[in-house]
Structure 1
Amino acid sequence: MELPVWFEISTFVGLTVLLLADLALVVRRPHEPSVKEATAWVVFYVGLALAFGGIVLAVTNGQFATEFYAGWLTEYSLSVDNLFVFVIIMARFRVPRKLQQEVLMVGIIIALVLRGLFILAGAAVIERFIWVFFLFGAFLVYTAINLVRHRDEDEDYEENGLIRRMRKVLPMTQDFHESKIRVVQDGKKLWTPMIVVFLALGTTDLLFALDSIPAIFGLTREPFIVFTANIFALMGLRQLYFLLGGLLKRLVYLSLGLAVILAFIGVKLILEALHENQYPFAGEREPLESIPAIPTWLSLTVILVVLLVATVASLLKTRGEVPDADGAAVDPAATDTGEPGRADALTEDERRARSATGEDQHRS
C-alpha cells in the first residue's frame, strides 16, 4: 500500500505552518523558558507525534504506523544524545540564555533542510542499489562499537574547518547584538557571532545525521516516514534542551543504550540485504528465505525496551546526585564537609565567562 498523495501534501503543509508559528513565537519574545513552559511544550510535541502515528494508522495501515513510531523513537533518542554537544556549543560561543531558544530554532530548521536533501539522496540510492545496506549496516555497527569504547570520555566540541575559516575571513563583531546576524558599526557592515553559531549547530547536526539517517532507513524505506520522523524528533528538541538542562549528565547509560540500538539496526540492515539477495552484478535472484528478515514490530519493541532500561539504570546509578551548573552530577554531601564547592572554586575570569552564558542563573 502506498501513502496517499493528499495525505503527504497536507502533512508537509501543516508541519511547515507549525514550524513557522513556533519560530515566530520565539523571535517575538526571546527568553529562557521556565521548567513548566518547557515541560508543556515537550508534552505537546510528544503527544503530537503519538497522534500523528495514529493518523498514519487510520489513513494507511499498521505497517507504516509501526515504522513511524520506531523511526521517531530512534531519531528522538539520538537527538537527546546530541543535546550534549548543543550544550557545549552554546557555552563555547557564550550565547546569552535569552537568545538560545531562537538559536536552537534556526539551527533545527537548517538541520531539517540539510537532512531533507540527505534523505532524498539516500532514498534514491537505496531504490537502485540494495547492497548499500551492507555499507549502512557496517557503519552503524562501527559507530556502536565506538560509542561503547568512548562512552566514559567527556564530550567535546571542535570547530570544523568551514567554521574556523569563517571566523578568520568574515569581519565580525566581538559581541552579540540580540539575534541579529549582521549590524553596522562605524559605517561598516559586520557579521555577529550569531552567524557562526547557526552554522555550528546546522553542520554539527548534519554530522549526526551520518548515523541517524542510515539507522532510520534500516526501519523503513519510505522517504515520507523517514522525513516526518526526523521532523517530529527535532521539533521538540529546543524545549527538551531547557527542560533537561543539567539532568543530561545523569543519563550515564544513554550512549550504551544507543550503541545497542545502532548495532541492532546495523545487523538488521545486513540481514535484510542478504534476505533480498538482489545485486546488480548477480542478475535477478530469488530472496533467500533461509535468511531471516527482522520485522518492524520487533525493532520497535527492542528500541523501547533498550531505552527504558538505559534510562532507569542511569537514574538509579546517579540517584542522590545533584547536577551542578555544568550538568555534572556531584554528591551533595561534599558540600556538607566544609570542602569548597565548585562554585566557590571558580576564578573571576570563569565567573565572567559563565555569566555570559547565563550559567550562574542556576545558582540564584
Structure 2
Amino acid sequence: MKKNKKLVLILSIVLSTILLWVAFLFPLPYYIESPGGAADIRTVLTVGGKEDEQSGSYNFVYVQVKPATAIQLLFAALDSHSDIISKEELAGGANSEEFYRINQFYMETSQNIAKYQGLTLAKKETSLEFFGVYVLNVTEDSTFKHILNIADTVVSVNGKTFKSSPELIEYVSSLKLGSDVTVGYVSAGQELTADGKIIKLENGKNGIGIGLVDHTEVKSSEQIDFQTGSIGGPSAGLMFTLAIYTQLADPDLRDGRMIAGTGTIGEDGSVGDIGGADKKVLSAAKAGASVFFVPNNPVDKEILKQHPDAKTNYEEAMEAVKKDKLDIEVVPVTHVKEAIDYLKKTKSQ
C-alpha cells in the first residue's frame, strides 16, 4: 500500500509539473492583442538626408500582438485592455512567413502613398507609378485558389489595366456573378494569365476573391528614406505623411507638441480605418502625447448589418479615453488636410 501511495504521489507530481509546463510555456492557436507603445517617426524616416531637429515629435502607435499560453489567456480574459484573437482571425489562414510578407507589402504601400501625399501637399514635383496590386490572400471559394499566390502582382483584368486598386475593384464588382474573367499577373518575374469566375464576396459585392494592396513606386527628386526594418502594416500612413509634409513645407507645424496618431493614407489624402483604436490611444496617452489623430469614417453598411453595435475608430478611441480618463486631445479626421489644418489652428504662436 505504501508503495502504491508513493507511486500515485510521484505520478501526481509529474502530471502536475507537465500541466504547469504546458499552461505556462506551450503556445495555443490564439494571440493576445494589447496596447503597445508609441515611436518617434524620426527613428525610421529621414527627408533630404537631414535630421529633423525641430522641437516636439510625430509618433506612430502600435499594438502588441503575441502568441498566448493557457495562463496568458486567463490573464488576458481578466484584462479589459487586452483582446483574445484566434490565429485564423489574425492571419486569415496565412502562415507566419506569409503573414510577415503581407504586412511588409502593407508597409511598402503605406510609405509610397505617404511620400506621394507629403510631396504633393508640399507642392513638390512628384509622380506615383501604379504597377498593379499585390495579392495578399486568396479566399477558399475563389476560382483562382492555388493559381494566384501571395506576392503575385495582378496587372490586368479582361485585358484592362488600371491606375489604382479602387479602379480595379470597381470594374471587377461591376461584372456579373458567375461570368468568365481573365486575370493577367506577374509571378516570379513571369507574365502570366489565368481564367476564372466572378464570385460573391463576404461584403456582398462581386469579385474574384483576393485580398490586395497597391504595388506602386514614387518618382521625385526629393530624397525620402524609410528604415522601418521588421515593422509592418499600413496604419502609420497618416503620421508618415504629416512628418514628410512638415519637413518639406512647414518645419514649425508641430510647435513643440508630442503628436501621435493612426490611420492609413490614400492616394487622394483620405485617412482610412485601422484596428485597435482603443488600444492605440491608450499607448499614445501613456507615452505622453497631447494630441491623437484617429480616423472617423462611417461604418460600412454591410458591417452594420452583421454587427449593429460596430463603432467608428473615433468612437472606439473616445470610449477608451472616457473609461480610463486619459489626458489627451482626440482629433477625428477623414483627410490628411484636416490634421494639418488642426495643427495650424492650434499653434501657440
**Shared fold per TM-score greater than 0.5:** no
TM-score where L is the length of structure 2: 0.28
Which structure has more relative contact order (CA 8 Å, sep 6+)? It is 1
When you count helix as a share of all residues, which structure comes out higher? 1
Computing the radius of gyration from Cα coordinates, the structure with the larger value is: 2
